Structure 1
Amino acid sequence: MTPFRLFLSLLLIISSVAVAQARTVWVDDKVYLPVRTGAGSQFRIIENAVSGTRMEVLETGDGYTRVRTSKGNEGWVASQYLSNQPIAEDRLQQATRDLETARAELAQAREQLNAVTSERDELESAESNLSSRSRQLQTELERIKNIAADSINLERRNRELLEDNQKLRNDLEVLTAENERLEAGKESDFMLLGAGLVFAGVLLALLVPMLKPTRKTDNWA
């Protein structure tokens, strides 16, 4: 093997090893922003603010901004590292929280929908039962009306019978009085007849002796 070929083989082997050892990496977004006592890198650092830290702007200068941190420290930071909106990680976390909240609300809405659907089914069942009960009550009402009508007819018939009975009682009283009068008249007639018979008997008793022939006295004796 010639030296050139040997060199080429070694180069290929080294390249293969380098490719085999290659990997993908990302830049860490955890950036620490120094808060200094003055507007410049020569001033002392009083706090290292991590990326995403909320700050209150107190004063704006040339390339630096005077701020108050969440810890209450006041100092200067480089304006180029400040943003008017939260960092992407915070926005992603907020979006994730919003998504979780939306999912929870969706699950709650589904539960409420299921509850409303179940309640609707119960109401429909109750309505069906009420309709059936209403029909039964309507039938019962018709029966009661018929009974009431029969009762009214019976009451009217009863009144008519009572009136007829009262009329019969009145007629009976009249007939009884007439019968008593006739009975009294018969007794009077019987008494008169009896008196007449007695008088006739007495009269006959008086007349019969007078009608007998008198026996003549026998003078020849």
Structure 2
Amino acid sequence: MGKKALLLAGLLISSFAFAETKYIDDTMYAPLRSGQGLEFRIVHKGIKSGTPVEHLQTNAESGYSLIRTPEGIEGWLPTRFLVNEPVARDKLNRMTQQYTALQQKFNDLQNEYNQVKGENSDLGGAREQLEKSNKELQLELSNIKRISENAIALDTRNRELRESNEKLKNEVELLSAENLRLKDSDERDKMLLGGGLVLLGVIIALIVPMFKREKKAGW
């Protein structure tokens, strides 16, 4: 008895170890029984079509397979209710979900593209504005440079004029001093001439009477 129990346990363990996933076929609900036949009690009223289950073992003679549901319930059902791949309806649902997800992703990418395109358009406008501002600044800098060059030239010319003015003032002062010197010299000459004439008059006044006396004495 103990050996049979160990053997049964080994078979169960080996069947669990090699369990594979199967799917309930297009049958709406497949009842799960405690044994391999309709006379055994139902342990699950019906497994929904497309439900993945663990396939534990198959009895080819009875046409039944032992499975375990996702809830952990074990039982037997006709092997014909099991398929290796999901049923077409589930495949369609999954494909529909995948399509919906891809469509959503496409819409997100389209929105992102439109947003980036709009940002690029805004950047293009900003770049044009910057280029315009840059040209205006360059023109203003050129004007400032030209004004600065004119200011430097005017300052240089102003210094030259000031220097010329100083030279002219010095020359005027020299001419004024020379004029004063000439005036003083002319006045001195006039004074000397006047003094000479006076002296000459005095001499003549002294000499003439002497000539008159000598003339009278000769007579």
TM-score by length of 2: 0.60
- Whether contact under 8 Å (1:68, 1:75) holds in the other structure is yes
Give 1:180 deviation, angstroms.
0.6
The structure 1 residue matched to 2:50, chosen from 44, 49, 52, is 52
What is the match of residue 31 of structure 2?
Answer: 33
**Structure (1 or 2) with the greater strand fraction:** 2
What is the match of residue 166 of structure 1?
Answer: 163
CA RMSD of aligned residues (A): 3.8
The structure 2 residue matched to 1:152, chosen from 139, 149, 154, is 149
Change (3 A) 1:142 1:194: same
What is the match of residue 98 of structure 1?
Answer: 98
What is the match of residue 191 of structure 1?
Answer: 188
Give 1:146 deviation, angstroms.
5.6
Q: What SS does structure 2 have at the residue aligned with 1:169?
A: helix
What is the match of residue 84 of structure 2?
Answer: 84
Give 1:30 deviation, angstroms.
1.0
Give 1:78 deviation, angstroms.
3.3
- Where do 5+ consecutive residues of structure 1 fail to align? 1-27, 217-221
Q: 2: distance between equivalents of 1:114 and 1:136?
A: 28
What is the match of residue 173 of structure 2?
Answer: 176
Change (3 A) 1:74 1:83: same
Q: 2: distance between equivalents of 1:84 and 1:177?
A: 129
Cα deviation 1:125-144 (Å, max 9, x = unaligned) = x17x817x746853774575
Give 1:190 deviation, angstroms.
1.5
- Whether contact under 8 Å (2:32, 2:75) holds in the other structure is no
User: Could you tell me which amino acid in structure 1 is paired with residue 32 of structure 2?
Assistant: P
What is the match of residue 203 of structure 2?
Answer: 207
Cα deviation 1:77-99 (Å, max 9, x = unaligned) = 33332122112222222223233
Q: 2: distance between equivalents of 1:65 and 1:43?
A: 14
Give 1:121 deviation, angstroms.
4.8
- Whether contact under 8 Å (1:33, 1:51) holds in the other structure is no
Q: 1: distance between equivalents of 2:189 and 2:133?
A: 81
Of residues 160-169 and 191-200 in structure 1, the stretch that sits farther from structure 2 once superposed is 191-200
Q: What SS does structure 2 have at the residue aligned with 1:86?
A: coil
- Whether contact under 8 Å (1:33, 1:50) holds in the other structure is no
Q: 2: distance between equivalents of 1:153 and 1:72?
A: 99
Q: 1: distance between equivalents of 2:77 and 2:190?
A: 162
- Whether contact under 8 Å (2:65, 2:76) holds in the other structure is yes
Change (3 A) 1:135 1:96: closer
What is the match of residue 17 of structure 1?
Answer: none
The count of residues paired between Structure 1 and Structure 2 equals 183
Q: 2: distance between equivalents of 1:187 and 1:117?
A: 99
What is the match of residue 19 of structure 2?
Answer: none
Change (3 A) 1:147 1:105: closer
What is the match of residue 67 of structure 1?
Answer: 67
Cα deviation 1:145-181 (Å, max 9, x = unaligned) = 3663365245325413531441242133034223313
Change (3 A) 1:141 1:68: same
